[in-house]
Amino acid sequence: MSMLSIPILGLVLAVVASVGFALQYIFVRIGTRSGRVEDVVWISLLCNTAIIVPLAVVFSNGVVSPRSIMAFVAAGVAGALLSRILMFQSIQRIGASRTSPIVASNVIFATVFAMFTFGDTVTLIHFLGIVLIVVSIAYISYETSNDPESVNQNPTAKIIALPILAALFIGVEPIFISIGLSFGTSTLTGLAVTVSTAFVGFSTYLAVSSGIPRPDVISDPEFKWHLGAGLIITISMLSYFAALESAPVVLVVPVIQTSPLFIILISMFALPDQVEKITWRLTVAAVGVVIGATFVSLYG
């Protein structure tokens, strides 16, 4: 047995994933101050596809079926594509520290979808976790509405809808992934289909609208942040799935749910107030979401 026992290895991988998800928000926040959201979405999906698809070709179990492919394609459209567009738009408009806790409410949508799809039930702790998330998000929305800088002169309700819709699409993604995995397809293969679907779909959209980013995009000042976001998302996704395969869910999930807190800590020490404004009230609300999301994930 290696020096790192399996649970400790899973814990390390989960921490890597959580910090990586936090850095993703920070990189997108910085990269979209003057750059286009479309560019960072496309570059991040390109990184996902270029790294994950070859890994799947080499290490997957080769078990696929038309129904599993359809499920993973649906997961790619909902989770990797639509949720990412909405989430990145929200980061640009209201900031990473406000977007992340709201997106963490995806566990509520995942719970509702699971109830209707798989017949899951809601426990008392599960319900209390949902209430805590809702109250915390309501406060974040209230604080955002009272911060003119964070809403960029746009109607607050419209802006808050961005991370909520992103959470909805992320919430439905596990349903499709569970269906795809139930046919015996490996996680890595499913992940490859998911990200490549999103990449092809978004590339097609850009080709008929504003155009796919040109090769000279690498000379843009924001490119390093876009590329960094893409690489860190890929590493985080792989670390997250590896953590789930090497440690119990009860160990991995609480660590992953701390991502909003890492965002606040990084923002406090690395970003000026003009880029990311952190208040103690926002921190308390984020903690409330983290606790609520952990309850919902573990005790549902």
**Cα separation of 55 and 242, whole Å?**
13
Section 88-99 average pLDDT: 90
Q: What is the pLDDT of residue 3?
A: 47
Q: What is the pLDDT of residue 147?
A: 62
Q: What is the pLDDT of residue 164?
A: 93
Q: What is the pLDDT of residue 219?
A: 86
Q: What is the pLDDT of residue 151?
A: 47
Q: What is the pLDDT of residue 153?
A: 47
| Residue 150 confidence class, pLDDT cut points 50, 70, 90 | low
| Residue 113 confidence class, pLDDT cut points 50, 70, 90 | confident
**Cα separation of 260 and 281, whole Å?**
14
Section 59-79 average pLDDT: 91
Section 168-188 average pLDDT: 90
* Averaged pLDDT of the chain: 86
Section 172-194 average pLDDT: 91
Most trustworthy range by pLDDT among 104-113, 229-238, 250-259: 229-238
Enumerate the domain spans of the chain.
6-299
| Residue 116 confidence class, pLDDT cut points 50, 70, 90 | confident
Q: Indicate the pTM of the whole model.
A: 0.86
**Residue 300 pLDDT greater than 60, yes or no:** no
The better pLDDT of the pair 145, 271 is held by 271
Mean pLDDT lowest for which of 151-165, 202-216, 243-257? 151-165
